[in-house]
Structure 1
Amino acid sequence: MTASNLLGFRAAAPARRCETGAVTDPYRTLGTGYAQQRRPDPRVAELIEQALGEARTVVNVGAGAGSYEPVGRRVLAVEPSPVMIAQRPPGSAPVVRAVAERLPLADKSFDVGLAVLTVHHWTDPVRGLAELRRVSRRQVVLTWDPVVVARFWLVADYLPEIAAAEAALPTCDFVSEQLAPVRVTEVPVPHDCTDGFLAAYWNRPRAYLDPAVRASISSLARLDPARVAAAMRRLSDDLDSGRWQERHGTPGEAGAADVGYRLVSTLA
């Protein structure tokens, strides 16, 4: 019995076979610390919950270790990486090992298709988003605006390669075009954000000096290690000398910042 049948959802007819065996798992090394470093932030979760609206059934595509899976709804997770699946906590939603581009689910099986900071990892984002639309009546996607991210101090001052690399990735405008008509909502990042994505430590700069933190940020983990190490030495020197503080203020101050994250929701 498939997980979709277990939840009472209809499997695709005929059932689509997921060819995960042919997929290289980038999270074999990248994802090993996700459960510790990428803990869902309740304020971000609340925005996602609001976007889900009255949905009773949700498919979470690219579900990873289970961050931001809603409670009080019937949820099915879809995730290709066994490393990520192994980090899902007890009591998590049932999970199907499959890729976004080939979802083994029937048309309109779910009220909402959810994708959280994952579309940029898909091998064929156009097909993946088309599949998300096929299996769900509405879609909610957390992604980012590359123009804003490029202005983030870590990128602008230390690692501009991130902006260059992410210019070719499917970001907010791309997702919006594929899912239109949509509503785009700014997702402010709180000063004490618990989810360690790229800009989560915007006012905790010393966090980026921790290799464990960097290892769970794909934008950093995929750069040339020597280049990242040199950038971190400059960041450390700037913090010790006060140059960083002169440019960006006092680390640790409370507040929230727009560092480019956006929630794209299709209109009902």
Structure 2
Amino acid sequence: MTTATDPYRLLGRGYADVRRPDPRIARCLYAALGDAATVLNVGAGAGSYEPGDRHVLAVEPSATMLGQRHPGSAPAVRAVAEALPCADDGFDVAVAWLTVHHWRDPAAGLAELRRVSRRQVVLTWDVEIMARYWLVADYLPEIAERERGLATLDAVIDGLTTPGRRVDVQAVDVPWDCTDGFLAAYWRRPHHYLDAAVRAGMSGVASLPDTVVRPALARLADDLRTGAWHRHHRDLSGRDSLDVGYRLVVAS
């Protein structure tokens, strides 16, 4: 889930341990594949959400991430999204799960997805909705400030929209006990954000300087200790899932 440089050389250690696919999210992603028999997984990382019932080729530039792929995972090649080593229309579908914001040139990478596949399925997020998520709004607004400069929902839609093609967008709600430790996975379990190993799987947090993260987490820890967090977010306690801005973009 990186570009030619490898920020995951440090950030990605132990990534596979905390970014375990959630079966409910997997069902949503797999449904978007339709009847595709061949799948190109771009920015494949450690192999999350690779369907086992289709022919998959993984593309990932980070050696750190490739080294965490489990035995029996789909074959993988080391390459970047902007220069996919694949023939035109070589795949039924190309997917990119929470990776486009790491690409050096998102527009070029999305054009490559269109070139090599007849259908594209991209999981990204709406940064303005994410900015209202309590972790971002109350403790780490720097996440939204940083990610407004990255390629999120609007850039993905623009990059996949061409004449004669249909682009659909659907919300992907996050279950309260989500097993995939991405940024908003712990919206009802705030104490998990105090765990450094958990935060290492969240590039939005791990990419910020410690001088920003440390005092923010100290405030969160204090709010949990005093009960202030639970009083302020009591409306979350009875919810099974939450829309925190994750969006699935399907182009065909």
- TM-score bracket for this pair, using the shorter chain length: over 0.9
Q: Residue 53 of structure 1 corresponds to which residue in structure 2?
A: 34
Q: State how many pairs are aligned.
A: 247
What SS does the aligned partner of 1:138 have?
Answer: strand
Contact 1:204–1:251 (CA under 8 A) maintained in structure 2: no
Match of 1:52, SS state, is coil
The unaligned stretches of length 5 or more in structure 1 are 1-19
1:245 to 230, 237, 249: 230
**TM-score in terms of structure 1 length:** 0.90
Q: Select the residue among 144, 147, 154 that pairs with 1:166.
A: 147
Aligned residue in 2 for 1:113: 94
**In the alignment, does 2:187 pair up with 1:206?**
no
SS at 1:143's partner residue? Answer: strand
Give 1:71 shift.
1.5
CA-CA distance at 1:123 after TM superposition = 0.3
Equivalent pair of 1:183/1:265 in contact (CA under 8 Å): yes
Partner Cα distance (2:95, 2:4) in 1: 22
Higher Cα radius of gyration: 1
- State the one-letter code of the partner of 1:167: R
CA contact (8 A) 2:107 2:155 kept: no
| 1:216-227 aligned within 5 A | 216-227=201-212
Cα-to-partner distance string for 1:38-87 (whole Å, 9 max, x where unaligned): 00111110011110000000000000000001111000000001110010
- Tell me if the contact between 2:94 and 2:117 (Cα under 8 Å) persists in the aligned partners: yes
Task: Give the SS at the match of 1:101.
Answer: helix
- Runs of 4+ aligned residues of structure 1 deviating over 6 Å after TM superposition are none
* Displacement of 1:200: 0.5
For 1:23 and 1:64, the matched residues in 2 are separated by 13
Partner of 1:64: 45
Give the percent of matched residue pairs that are identical in Structure 1 and Structure 2: 63
Letter in 1 for 2:177: D
Write the deviation string for residues 218-239 of structure 1: whole angstroms up to 9, x where unpaired.
0001111121010000001001
Q: Tell whether the 8 Å contact from 2:126 to 2:152 is kept in structure 1 after alignment.
A: yes
**Please, which of 25, 40, 43 is the counterpart of residue 21 of structure 2?**
40
**1:97 maps to which of 78, 88, 93:** 78
* Deviation string, structure 1 residues 144-201 (Cα, Å, up to 9, x no partner): 0011100000000001111110111111111011112311010000000000110000
Decide whether the 8 Å contact of 1:37 with 1:196 is kept in 2. yes
TM-score for both structures, normalised by structure 2: 0.95
Calculate the aligned-residue CA RMSD, in Å. 1.4
